[in-house]
């Protein structure tokens, strides 16, 4: 259950106790478009909203391939939106950085859950440049969305190779996430790509995810969201 929903439920309970009235609420049966992903979701006027902030991994490379976050949202019953710009990151200036895009995100999106999946394009940069940008962005993200559940993915490619800059970025992400009460998911440290044939997961460029790769990534990430208490336990998403 998200931070916003917990606050809403507390407010409802307080109101009930003040007026000393017992109200029986019967949840009506919903259609497929009416989500009840969590025991608290059914009382809300809209499904939970997911915002994905990413690079080309979140933008996709082939419109025929379902992207991992869309698979997750479908399973959870969330409404998903994406701000995904290929080549972007915390500090990489080939495209507008995530903090440069934040004002537009503020105007366009009011999410309950935010998934930050960037940093791959920063792995080739000097960590002395990237690390401060990570902290700056995550602090501003929390100020912009004080009630949202925020999950930050430690960056990496679909490979067993670990770039020498990764440790510095991981440490910065973990420390910054702690200060803003965000969760961290680390596919590299958790061995998502070890001891398996990666070729069927990769698109023709050998970098981005094919349909099978998106499904696998969605399954692993969804399991983490369930463990964190953010997503409902509904089994595999693929």
pLDDT digits (tens, 9 = 90+) for 109-160: 999 999 999 999 999 999 999 999 999 999 999 999 999 999 999 999 888 8
**pLDDT number for residue 60:** 83
What class is the 48-227 domain? alpha beta
9 Cβ neighbours under 8 A, 6+ residues apart:
1, 40
Q: Lowest-confidence range among 16-30, 33-47, 82-96, 112-126?
A: 16-30
76 in Cβ contact with 48 (< 8 Å) = yes
Q: What is the pTM of this model?
A: 0.79
pLDDT tens by residue, 170-203: 999 999 999 999 999 999 999 998 888 888 888 8
pLDDT tens-digit map of 79-107: 999 999 999 999 999 999 999 999 999 99
- Express each pLDDT in 160-171 by its tens digit: 889 999 999 999
* Backbone CA torsion sign across 149, 216, 237, 121: positive
Query: Among residues 60, 58, 31, which one has the least CA distance to residue 47?
Result: 31
Q: What is the pLDDT of residues 209-224, one digit of tens each?
A: 988 899 999 999 999 9
């Amino acid at each position: 259950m998200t931070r916003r929903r917990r606050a809403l439920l507390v407010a409802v309970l307080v109101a009930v106790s003040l007026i000393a009235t017992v109200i029986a609420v019967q949840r009506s049966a919903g259609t497929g478009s009416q989500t009840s992903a969590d025991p608290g979701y059914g009382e809300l006027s809209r499904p939970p909203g997911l915002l994905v902030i990413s690079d080309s991994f979140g933008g996709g490379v082939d419109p025929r391939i379902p992207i991992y976050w869309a698979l997750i949202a479908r399973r959870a019953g969330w409404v998903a939106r994406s701000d995904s710009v290929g080549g972007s990151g915390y500090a990489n200036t080939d495209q507008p950085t995530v903090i440069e895009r934040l004002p537009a995100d503020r105007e366009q999106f009011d999410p309950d859950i935010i998934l930050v999946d960037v940093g791959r394009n920063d792995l080739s940069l000097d960590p002395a440049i990237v690390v401060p940008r990570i902290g700056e962005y995550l602090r501003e993200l929390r100020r912009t969305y004080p009630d949202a559940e925020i999950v930050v993915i430690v960056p990496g490619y679909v490979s067993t190779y670990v770039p020498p800059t990764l440790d510095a970025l991981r440490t910065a992400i973990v420390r910054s996430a702690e200060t803003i009460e965000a969760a961290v998911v680390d596919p590299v440290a958790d061995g998502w790509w070890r001891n398996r044939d990666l070729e069927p997961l990769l698109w023709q460029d050998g970098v981005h995810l094919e349909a099978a790769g998106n499904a696998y990534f969605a399954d692993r990430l969804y399991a983490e969201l369930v463990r964190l208490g953010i997503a409902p336990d509904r089994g595999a998403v693929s």
